[in-house]
Amino acid sequence: MYEAIEDPYCYAGTIVLKNIPGLRGPATLEQFDPKAFLAAMVASFQGDEQPLVDQIRGLIT
């Protein structure tokens, strides 16, 4: 796993973007709106999705 980088658009100590419903956990956010969650994750890698692909592969293998 990797450590979260402090980002003013994320809740402190997380990689969860600040959101209107106030959901703070990645799993809760994913259940709330899985398509938006995935789109935000892809966008956070700024065009280089390979780190995201590697993370997902690590979770399923």
The arithmetic mean of pLDDT across residues 9-31, rounded, is 77
- Cβ atoms of residues 60 and 52 within 8 Å: no
Query: 4 vs 13, which has greater pLDDT?
Result: 13
The token pair at 24 is: 């703070």
Domain boundaries, the chain: 1-61
What pLDDT does 47 receive? 74
pTM exceeding the 0.75 threshold for the entire prediction = no
Q: What percent of the chain has pLDDT over 90?
A: 0
Q: How far, in Å, CA of 19 to CA of 29, rounded?
A: 9
Q: Which of 2-6, 39-43, 46-50 has the lowest mean pLDDT?
A: 2-6
